[in-house]
């Protein structure tokens, strides 16, 4: 807690009654005169037309999915299609007051939202600019297809471009907006402000907050709308996102000139169902979703329930809420009521709702209702309506014809995936401007104190310098952070206890003095939102470093790591980059829930770079590397290592900038008899074992510190094992399914003929981590390594085992799942 905010017991303990402000529900009053004045006839008709286009698009997909044909065109689409028939007015109404700079993120049911946002952007853009954007998008691949078939104005061409780009994406084609790598549930078109859509219910929430943070912190125009369903109100990350968005500090502590809270609107398209679970009355207790806003802050999140069946009611709400957001007075919550006439997906038999209910909503259909309103006010005739419907059908038919053809719309080749898993770029700065820093580097108290420290751990006599005088692993991480903050104006770092506390383990001590609040801040204890907002920040083009105190808390950010951080570069076909570093710390001494090494879990996730330095030299060089790249990095650190100095590079940790080459393990001690490979802090047990092997048994172990889990160059390991013929692997991760087994298995396959015996894996026990005093029975010890070599690889002359590392014991443990 910052010292500037005083918690006064006298105030806090006073008896009071908390009053909650009223929450408006469906307060919009249609008034055609006012609406005409505000929008004009052309715009009011365009709203109708956009709704028709979306309805026809979704109806076409429904026909394709259920009957395999539409307007005589046959196609079998095996992928998903979550349709929004019935919800068109809420999507189109939302975009009426949105500019291109306003972003929308969405869910699995977002075809309509993408189309609505793109169609509205087309109306706003100058034709030349529009053409330029279409020409430059994927080198014009998508434009070329629709251009051939098109006559007429550029805006009309742009509509075809959007319909085809979205449909080709849904069908998984190379000309789709994300080259077919996103598909139905992830399609987006960033140039028009339609941002990634998420197949994970509620997944867009924290990402959207990150995008809004990016806008606020970097003074970008526009707002961010997070479109999610009513079902997502039950998702933890959605609540976490709301908490992060509603922090007081934006107004109490951040620089006033910045403009206040991040401009984020959580819009719930409330169709009253999450698949079949009825949210109001069955799976939730709020009765009216809007009520939730009352719990979050004194402004009730400016919450309202809006009639999403009237596009003009939605437009009105967005116009008013946008003003609040732009003034920095957000966040905002909207409960936009709507109804999906279509099933959750085309296979949905609607067994959870009555025919009467569906009919009742069909009777007040949002397109029919709005059409009748226009007709009543003499803006359109029945014939004109028919003509518009026909035009919509023709357009959709044209897009479908192009999208189903494998000749016109091929798929990417399988090896394309290889090229988009990582962006592999190096960017000194994500934007060209001067970083916001408060003091010159040399005036920083920590920088000053570091000048007095020994940058190599040992003195001339080989004795370790006193701890307080040694430049440590923690100091090394600090230097990498500081460097990048002074280079990259977009860089932010945040997480729990990141500011005044100095980072959970004092890595950031000294950063508080150097950086304004908005570049380094504390967050709620919301690991999901910490990581997820990092995703949103990064995919908008900013560099973020987020910290999870203990790697044991990764589970709290599980979806964010598995499905968001790791996947958005490739799901966007490389259109997005992810310069996001997630610092996590492997604990010890704190028992079962704070002392496990989770590297193996992360190793299994495609799309992540995973690093684990074990020396100060590497800590700095590897964090420099991570903070220079454009890929997501999970950066493991060890609490056992924060205090240690550099023991391996005699010239010490350089003061200047340097990077460790990516994916390259390093030899820590040369040897010829056995290769001893370690990950993370296990290096030090490995070194102890190597020394004893040499001293007692004349066995020269070659110790390799893996450093990188992914990507990983096996060459050095291969060379070493070719020389020694023997491989022992050690890490603090639990033995079962440890990443060590992957390396062991790969080496066995790559150079089987060179091996004298099986690769020997020594991991932690498959238990809970015990109390500090008993940790040596859990984490691999020097004795375990030597005993394992003796029992499983080759006998060491005169060796007496003190632990049971035998094969029989391995088999016994597995039998009991331990
Ligand atoms: C985290 C997660 N849980 C479950 C699902 C399966 N699922 C897909 S859509 C859906 C219902 C979502 O309801 P809601 O958020 O109201 O959106 P709607 O489908 O009504 O548009 C469910 C349970 C999922 N995709 N993600
Ligand atoms: Mg729903």
Centre of ligand 1 from the C-alpha of residue 188, in Å: 19
Q: Are 546 and 493 in contact (CB under 8 A)?
A: yes
Q: Which of 231, 278, 339 to mutate to test the pocket of ligand 1 (most atoms within 8 A of CB)?
A: 231
pLDDT of residue 149: 81
Per the annotation, the verdict on 594 as an active-site residue is yes
Atom of ligand 1 nearest to the CA of 274: 13
pLDDT of residue 5: 84
245 to each of 59, 267, 296, 534, how far by Cα in Å? 37, 14, 10, 13
pLDDT of residue 67: 96
pLDDT in tens, 80-100: 999 999 999 999 999 999 999
Centre of ligand 2 from the C-alpha of residue 788, in Å: 56
Q: Is 199 in the pocket of ligand 1 (CB under 6 A)?
A: yes
pLDDT at 1 over 70: no
Q: Is 547 in the pocket of ligand 1 (CB under 6 A)?
A: no
Phi, psi of 600, rounded to the nearest 5 degrees: -65, -35
Atom of ligand 1 nearest to the CA of 229: 15
Round the average pLDDT of the chain to a whole number and report it: 97
Residues 6 or more apart whose CB falls under 8 angstroms from that of 720 comprise 667, 675, 702, 704
Q: Which residue lies with its CA nearest to atom 20 of ligand 1?
A: 274
Q: Is 108 in the pocket of ligand 1 (CB under 6 A)?
A: yes
Q: Is 716 in the pocket of ligand 1 (CB under 6 A)?
A: no
Residues 6 or more apart whose CB falls under 8 angstroms from that of 30 comprise 310, 312, 313, 373
Q: Which residue lies with its CA nearest to atom 5 of ligand 1?
A: 201
110 to each of 115, 195, 289, 572, how far by Cα in Å? 9, 11, 20, 16
Q: Which residue lies with its CA nearest to atom 12 of ligand 1?
A: 274
Provide the token pair at 62.
């429904």
Q: Is 86 in the pocket of ligand 1 (CB under 6 A)?
A: no
pLDDT of residue 415: 96
pLDDT of residue 349: 87
Query: What is the crossing angle of helices 154-170 and 141-148, to 10°?
Result: 120
CA angle 121, 123, 125 (to 5 degrees): 65
Residue of 539, 591, 548 lying closest to 567 (CA atoms): 539
Atom of ligand 1 nearest to the CA of 275: 11
Centre of ligand 2 from the C-alpha of residue 649, in Å: 58
Q: Is 238 in the pocket of ligand 1 (CB under 6 A)?
A: no
pLDDT of residue 649: 98
Centre of ligand 1 from the C-alpha of residue 273, in Å: 9
Beta-strand pair 701-705/492-495: unpaired
Q: Is 231 in the pocket of ligand 1 (CB under 6 A)?
A: yes
pLDDT at 695 over 80: yes
Q: Are 637 and 681 in contact (CB under 8 A)?
A: no
pLDDT of residue 473: 98
Atom of ligand 1 nearest to the CA of 109: 21
Q: How far is CA 759 from the centre of its chain?
A: 36
pLDDT of residue 21: 95
Atom of ligand 1 nearest to the CA of 108: 9
CA angle 382, 386, 389 (to 5 degrees): 140
CA distance 579 to 584: 16
Residues 6 or more apart whose CB falls under 8 angstroms from that of 61 comprise 77, 81, 83, 111, 170
Instruction: Tell me the DSSP string of 268-306.
Output: EEE-SEETTEETBTTTBS-SSGGGGGGGTSTTGGG-EEE
Q: Is 111 in the pocket of ligand 1 (CB under 6 A)?
A: no
pLDDT at 613 over 80: yes
Nearest ligand to the C-alpha atom of residue 226: 1
| Reported confidence tier of residue 555, pLDDT bands at 50, 70, 90 | very high
pLDDT in tens, 353-406: 999 999 999 999 999 999 999 999 999 999 999 999 999 999 999 999 999 999
| Reported confidence tier of residue 475, pLDDT bands at 50, 70, 90 | very high
pLDDT of residue 346: 86
Q: What is the mean pLDDT of residues 741-765?
A: 98
Q: Is 275 in the pocket of ligand 1 (CB under 6 A)?
A: yes
Percent of the chain with pLDDT over 70: 100
Say which of 186, 518, 594, 790 is annotated catalytic.
594
Q: What three-state secondary structure class fits 431?
A: coil
Q: What is the mean pLDDT of residues 107-117?
A: 98
- Residue corresponding to tokens 């034709």: 127
Q: Is 232 in the pocket of ligand 1 (CB under 6 A)?
A: yes
Q: Are 280 and 287 in contact (CB under 8 A)?
A: yes
User: Against a cut of 0.95, is the pTM above it?
Assistant: yes
Element (H, E) at 811: helix 807-815
pLDDT in tens, 7-50: 999 999 999 999 999 999 999 999 999 999 999 999 999 999 99
Centre of ligand 2 from the C-alpha of residue 368, in Å: 22
CA distance 693 to 687: 10
């Amino acid at each position: 807690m910052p010292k500037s905010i005083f918690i006064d017991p006298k105030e806090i303990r006073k008896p009071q009654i908390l009053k909650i402000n009223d929450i408006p529900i469906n307060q919009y009053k249609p008034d055609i005169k006012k609406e005409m004045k505000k929008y004009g006839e052309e715009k009011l008709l365009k709203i109708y037309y956009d709704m028709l286009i979306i309805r026809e698009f979704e109806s076409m997909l429904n026909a394709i999915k259920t009957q395999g044909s539409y307007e005589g065109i046959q196609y079998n689409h095996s992928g998903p299609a979550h349709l929004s028939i019935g919800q068109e007015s809420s999507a189109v109404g939302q975009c009426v007051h949105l500019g291109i700079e306003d972003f929308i993120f969405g869910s699995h049911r977002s075809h309509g939202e993408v189309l609505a946002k793109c169609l509205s952007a087309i109306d706003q853009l100058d034709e030349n600019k529009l053409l330029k954007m279409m020409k430059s998008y994927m080198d014009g691949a998508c434009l070329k297809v629709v251009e051939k078939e098109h006559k007429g104005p550029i805006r009309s061409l742009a509509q075809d471009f959007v319909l085809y780009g979205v449909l080709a994406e849904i069908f998984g084609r190379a000309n789709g907006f994300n080259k077919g790598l996103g598909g139905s549930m992830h399609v987006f078109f960033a140039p028009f402000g339609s941002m990634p859509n998420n197949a994970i219910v509620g997944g867009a929430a924290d990402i959207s907050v990150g995008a809004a943070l990016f806008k606020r912190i970097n003074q970008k125009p526009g707002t961010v709308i997070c479109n999610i369903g009513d079902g997502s109100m039950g998702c933890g990350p959605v609540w976490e996102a709301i908490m992060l968005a509603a922090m007081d500090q934006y107004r109490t502590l951040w620089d006033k000139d910045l403009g206040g809270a991040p401009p984020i609107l959580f819009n719930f398209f409330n169709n009253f169902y999450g698949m079949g679970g009825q949210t109001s009355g069955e799976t939730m207790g709020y009765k009216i979703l809007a009520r939730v806003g009352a719990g979050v802050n004194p402004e009730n999140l400016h919450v309202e329930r809006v009639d999403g069946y009237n596009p003009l009611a939605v437009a009105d709400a967005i116009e008013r809420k946008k003003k609040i957001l732009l003034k920095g007075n957000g966040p905002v919550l909207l409960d936009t009521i709507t109804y999906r006439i279509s099933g959750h997906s085309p296979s949905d038999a609607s067994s959870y709702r009555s025919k009467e209910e569906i009919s009742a909503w069909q009777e007040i259909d949002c397109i029919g209702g709005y059409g009748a309103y226009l007709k009543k006010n003499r803006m359109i005739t029945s014939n004109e309506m028919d003509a518009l419907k026909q035009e919509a059908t023709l357009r959709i038919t044209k897009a479908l014809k192009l999208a189903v053809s494998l000749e016109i719309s091929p798929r990417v080749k399988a090896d394309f995936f290889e090229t988009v898993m990582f962006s592999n770029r190096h960017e000194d700065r994500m934007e060209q401007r001067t970083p916001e820093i408060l003091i010159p580097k040399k005036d920083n108290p920590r920088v000053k104190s570091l000048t007095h420290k020994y940058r190599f751990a040992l003195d001339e006599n080989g004795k370790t310098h006193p701890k307080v005088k040694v430049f440590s692993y923690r100091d090394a991480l600090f230097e990498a952070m500081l460097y990048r903050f002074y280079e990259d104006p977009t860089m932010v770092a945040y997480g729990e206890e990141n500011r005044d506390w100095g980072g959970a383990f004092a890595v950031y001590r000294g950063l508080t003095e150097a950086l304004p609040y908005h570049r380094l801040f504390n967050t709620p204890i919301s690991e999901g939102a910490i990581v997820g907002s990092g995703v949103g920040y990064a995919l908008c083009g900013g560099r973020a470093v987020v910290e999870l105190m203990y790697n044991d808390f990764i589970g709290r950010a599980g979806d964010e790591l598995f499905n968001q951080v790791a996947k958005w570069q490739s799901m966007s076909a490389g259109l997005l980059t992810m310069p996001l570093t997630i610092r996590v710390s492997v604990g010890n001494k704190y028992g079962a829930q704070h002392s496990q090494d989770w590297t193996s879990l992360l190793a299994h996730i495609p799309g992540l770079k995973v690093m684990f330095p074990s020396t100060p030299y590497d800590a700095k060089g590897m964090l420099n590397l991570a903070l220079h790249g454009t890929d997501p990095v999970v950066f493991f650190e060890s609490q056992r290592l924060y205090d240690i100095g550099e023991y391996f590079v005699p010239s010490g940790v350089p003061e200047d900038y340097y990077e460790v080459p990516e994916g390259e393990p390093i030899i820590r001690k040369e040897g010829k008899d056995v290769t001893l490979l370690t990950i993370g802090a296990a290096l030090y047990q490995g070194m102890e074992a190597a020394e004893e092997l040499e001293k007692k048994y004349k066995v020269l172990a070659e110790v390799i510190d893996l450093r990188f889990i992914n990507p990983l160059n096996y060459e050095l390991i291969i060379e070493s094992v070719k020389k020694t013929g023997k491989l022992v692997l050690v890490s603090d991760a639990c033995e079962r399914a440890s990443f060590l087994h992957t390396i062991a298995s790969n080496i066995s396959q790559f150079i089987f003929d060179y091996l004298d015996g099986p690769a020997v894996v020594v991991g932690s026990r498959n238990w809970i981590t015990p109390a500090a005093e008993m940790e040596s029975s859990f984490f691999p010890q020097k004795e375990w390594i030597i005993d394992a070599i003796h029992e499983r690889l080759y006998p060491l002359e005169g060796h007496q085992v003190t632990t049971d590392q035998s094969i029989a014991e391995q088999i016994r443990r597995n039998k009991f799942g331990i």
